[in-house]
Structure 1
Amino acid sequence: MNNRREWPLWEVFVRSRDGLNHKHAGSLHAPDAEMAIQNARDLYTRRSEGVSIWVVKSHDIVASDPSDKESLFDPAASKVYRHPTFYDLPEGVENI
């Protein structure tokens, strides 16, 4: 796997500060996970804006089909008690 064209594609997720979610930052090719993290750090956190990086091989990600939206998400609309608007947050809770 010395040829860069054979390197797997990795999806990069960066958490910008403690308490926040990881967000998709982009993609890159690398021969292994260690190199993918190093390259992601150099490419996506050049200004020290990250505290954590996740890399996942693109072929390992499984996604729903957008055409299945109704069958997947509409049943939740009738369960309003699951929405966070029914809960009081204590003072000092941030990033929710």
Structure 2
Amino acid sequence: MSNKQSNTEWPLWEVFYQPKDGKPFEHAGNVHAPDAEMALQNARDTYARRNEGISIWVVPSDQITASTPEDQGPFFDPANDKPYRHPQFYSVPRVVKKRK
């Protein structure tokens, strides 16, 4: 076995890109890279080949904190006791037209 690192031993980076129309960033996938600069280049080469976006973010996967499906009940339950957050408690003025 070699002492050199293989590509899969490099840190994993999550890739987000912003579409040209200015919409919010979307998760595109992930890449392996030894550092942020290389991760950005790998992300560009992998996820922006057709010039789809205007900006790319790369984030080390081990720096992302997320809830798990097992936490679904306890994590999201506190919102159930705040009915004022639901839109039925707000009225829309007549002057606001519906978008089609």
**TM-score (normalizing by structure 1):** 0.74
Larger radius of gyration: 2
Q: Which runs of 5+ in 1 are unaligned?
A: 92-96
**TM-score (normalizing by structure 2):** 0.72
What do you get for the CA RMSD once the two structures are aligned? Answer: 2.5
Query: Quick one: which of 64, 67, 70 aligns to 2:70?
Result: 67
Q: Which runs of 5+ in 2 are unaligned?
A: none
Cα deviation, residue 23, structure 1:
1.1
Q: What residue is the counterpart of 2:11 in the other structure?
A: 8
Cα deviation, residue 22, structure 1:
1.1
Q: What residue is the counterpart of 2:60 in the other structure?
A: 57
Q: Structure 1 counterpart of 2:78, which letter?
A: P
Q: What residue is the counterpart of 1:43 in the other structure?
A: 46
Cα deviation, residue 7, structure 1:
1.3
Q: Which moved more, 1:58-67 or 1:16-25?
A: 16-25
Match status 1:30 vs 2:4: no
Q: Which moved more, 1:38-47 or 1:5-14?
A: 5-14
Cα deviation, residue 49, structure 1:
0.5
| Residue identity (%) | 58
Change in 2 beyond 3 A, CA 1:26/1:87: farther
